[in-house]
Amino acid sequence: MRWVPRLTGLLLAACTLLGLADGAVADAPADGDGKTARISAATPEPKRFTVQGDGIVDQSTGKPVFFRGVGYSPYVPGETPLYGGQPADDDRYADHFTHIAELGVNYLHVFPLLMPAGFFSALDKTDLVYGQDIWVNPNMPDLLDEAFLESTLGQIKAVIDHTYKVGRPDRLVLFSVGDELSAAAVTSTDARHPEVHDFKGKHIQVAGRTASEVAMARLIDEAIDYELSRYGQRHLYCHTSWTHIGPVAPRPDLEVEPADLLVPDMGDLMCLNVYTYARGVTTSPPGSVTGTTYQGYLEDLVAMAEKPVLITQVGLSTSPIAPKPWVPGWGGHNVEDVPAVFREVWRDVRTAKGKEKLAGLVFFELHDEWWKSGEYPEDSSHHEDADPEEWFGLYEIGTDKRLTPKGKIPATVRELFSEP
């Protein structure tokens, strides 16, 4: 359900301390109850993809876009990011992009921090665009610890630098700073800093917030400033969260108290991983058209959001074993049952009340990743039946490390993405 290396040793050495700076701020409504998030009117807009009203517009065409995406992490058996390794630069990308083309996607949500040149060469042969996830340790007990912020900013800068030196900034839609902070980290951070509610940076201003939200706002503010000062332009920014810690409330099954709810609106858009079986979703009211709790959640989400919303992850694990019966839906899905759920999700999204604010849907993920959850050094060489995190792929990986479709799942995605 999440793409998170779990070792803090992956964080790179920091270069610059975080600081506060004043700036003129454009008016913007609140996304949460009593919470505000604003971007300075003096902050330049991105060159290509910009937020206009409830949606995102591609300035190269002047048209609004809806991202039809797939999550992409090209690690194959025997590889793992847990000790700092990046995917190898070999012929896998030709194979992967053949299957990506089969899906009919227009967007890749990329997880490894420093993708190799071969990936971008393959990307050049397509018209795809991509978003770059930037991992932030989700389990830090104090997300506002200055040393942690400093080292995390160093990693963020390294990813931005890599984008301009090796990547394709003209194809990049967004940087996502952090992905699925744990409930324990959020609760602990907020308890350690009960006095922290506001932040006024050079580009981002938030008020009425939790300490955890302020921590993410600080990182995004510094990231924007670094990109602008170093490269003379910027991209869209977001923090990706998940439904277990908000933002939609009240829900009886959330993992945080109401005072600790996290609203991921501190960037240009809201990015949220929304799984059909997740907390906050299954306890939602029925949707206005399909009657599902998934649509009900989306309708409540867009009703509170004052920025475009990108669904950055949705998917099902086809692990042979569902290891936690008390967490229904996490693993154990039959391959032949997945297409029907995907069709339902697509209909939920495309018919939801307020769907104009939904900027895209990203299925998680292209292929299975054997390295998860990294319980032991050789984990990446074993596809474990009882680890659902290893089985979210639309494709499985064969003995030759080539991708093989999981039944009709890829064809179903292509069918859905060919619709309006």
Residues 359-383: pLDDT tens digits? 999 999 999 999 998 878 889 999 9
Q: Which residue positions in the chain have pLDDT lower than 70? A: 1-33
What is the reported pLDDT for 29?
Answer: 41
* Rounded-to-integer distance, Cα 394 and Cα 407, Å: 9
What is the reported pLDDT for 285?
Answer: 98
Q: Give the count of domains, the chain.
A: 1
22 CB burial (10 A radius; 0-12, 13-18, 19+): exposed
What is the reported pLDDT for 320?
Answer: 98
Give 229's DSSP letter.
Answer: H
Question: Is 3 among the domain residues?
Answer: no
Give 338's DSSP letter.
Answer: H
Question: Is 47 among the domain residues?
Answer: yes
Contacts of 34 (CB under 8 A, 6+ apart): 208
Question: Is 1 among the domain residues?
Answer: no
Give pairs for 224-231: CB < 8 Å, separation 24+. 224/43, 225/21, 225/201, 226/16, 226/153, 226/156, 226/157, 226/160, 227/160, 228/43, 228/44, 230/160, 230/161, 230/164, 231/160, 231/164, 231/169
Domain that holds residue 77: 8-417
> Residue 340 is which amino acid?
A
What is the reported pLDDT for 19?
Answer: 34
Question: Is 184 among the domain residues?
Answer: yes
Question: Is 308 among the domain residues?
Answer: yes
Question: Is 2 among the domain residues?
Answer: no
DSSP states along 301-319: HHHH-SS-EEEEEE-----
Give 65's DSSP letter.
Answer: E
> How far is the first Cα of the chain from the last one, in angstroms, to the nearest whole number?
27
**Among 239, 420, 278, 398, CA closest to 347:** 420
Contacts of 109 (CB under 8 A, 6+ apart): 69, 70, 71, 72, 130, 131, 133, 312, 313, 362
- Tell me: cis bond preceding 369? Omega within 30 of 0 counts: no
What is the reported pLDDT for 83?
Answer: 87
What is the reported pLDDT for 375?
Answer: 79
Beta bridge partners of 63: 58
- pTM of model > 0.85: yes
128 phi, psi to nearest 5 deg: -75, 155
CA 164 to chain centre: 21
What is the reported pLDDT for 1?
Answer: 59
Place of tokens 């998934």: 294
CA 118 to chain centre: 23
Question: Is 61 among the domain residues?
Answer: yes
* Rounded-to-integer distance, Cα 248 and Cα 395, Å: 32
* Rounded-to-integer distance, Cα 367 and Cα 93, Å: 13
Q: Residue 140 sits in a domain of what CATH number?
A: 3.20.20.80
Question: Is 264 among the domain residues?
Answer: yes
Q: What is the pLDDT of residues 209-243, one digit of tens each?
A: 999 999 999 999 999 999 999 999 999 999 999 99
111 phi, psi to nearest 5 deg: -100, -45
What sign has the CA pseudo-torsion 408, 411, 417, 420?
negative
